[in-house]
Copies of this chain bind each other. A is one copy, B any other.
């Protein structure tokens, strides 16, 4: 992963990117791109949805992907930080899985290059799903006979129940989790009645004060980059304000925890701004409870600006226009459990 932070940071602070002239407003695609070695198929999506909802791949049999990424709501868990096996608390706010296919790296610190890679993390995280290793996860999977026909349908006959194929299936399902046709999307496609006047004004403010320096592109998480190449930004960039201690914004070193480079301290992947009304509380800390406050915090810490109340309200109204259409989904049917699976 080659970080491109330096040039962009400089540009952002100087205000070169994200001026009203430069911004190109883009709608969310209705289909996510898939890697060449994992084209999205109906059979993979079906299997991936089963795996996503199945709690039997956690040590206690109680935690699934769905536990912290509630696709019946905002794709997160509405908690400051998540709860894993044995009631343990995670360290960061769960990012939404909705539109995660439009991130070029995964996790807040970008430590996974792809959705496939990401899916292999939580099962073996001792705080999250708590399995001893991926082999143990695979053993659980193979001990449920009802999964075999679904793997064969998705990946062909023979011994296709592997960690790599399970990861591919989960990623394929996640690539279907897209929320198109928000008022914003319809507006930029030409339906000028799709947003209110306040939202249109808020959109202009959002751009003119500099939010679009980082939050640009179809998913409002920065430029479209190749898979594995992250778009990171320092947060807080301006640390000389009361928000930093109030919301514990510097207690976590961010990307530095992965790279162990001092220059990566407090660098974070720029998150999407879509469906924010469903994903409170906010920030990697989950310490900021409302969108109003999140806008104030970001303006101060990233742009060194104190916004007027009308500016805040306009931007929040605009952010509300980024809530899209959640596709109707059927529940998966999970295969029967052998009695000795969970001790």
Contacts and interface: CB of A to CB of B under 8 A. Distances in A.
Interface of A: 53, 55-56, 60-62, 67, 70-74, 77-80, 83, 85-88, 277-278, 280-282, 288-291, 326, 328-342
7 contacts: A56-B78, A60-B83, A62-B77, A73-B333, A80-B342, A289-B340, A291-B339
Contacts of A334: 70, 72-73
Given A331-B331, A339-B281, A55 B74 contact: no
Contacts of A53: 72
Contacts of A291: 339
A74 B54 CA distance: 12
Nearest to A56: B78
A78 B340 CA distance: 9
Given A55-B70, A60-B83, A280-B337, A328 B330 contact: yes
B328 A277 contact: no
A177 to B, nearest CB: 12
Given A78-B342, A79-B60, A83-B60, A332 B72 contact: yes
A280 B339 CA distance: 5
Max chain B CB contacts within 10 Å: which of A60, A67, A78, A341?
A78
A111 to B, nearest CB: 25
A282 to B, nearest CB: 7
A60 B88 CA distance: 11
Given A60-B79, A61-B78, A61-B79, 15 more contacts: A53-B72, A62-B77, A72-B332, A73-B334, A74-B336, A78-B341, A80-B342, A280-B336, A280-B338, A280-B339, A281-B340, A282-B339, A289-B339, A328-B330, A329-B331
Contact of A78 (B288, B330, B337): B337
A290 B341 CA distance: 11
Given A77-B62, A78-B341, A280-B339, A331 B330 contact: yes
A291 B339 CA distance: 8
B337 A72 contact: no
Contacts of A335: 73
B328 A73 contact: no
Given A79-B60, A86-B87, A342-B79, A278 B336 contact: yes
A60 to B, nearest CB: 6
Contacts of A342: 78-80
A88 B72 CA distance: 25
B333 A72 contact: yes
A316 to B, nearest CB: 12
A279 to B, nearest CB: 8
A61 B77 contact: yes
A291 to B, nearest CB: 8
Top 3 A-B pairs, shortest CB-CB distance: A280-B339, A87-B87, A289-B339
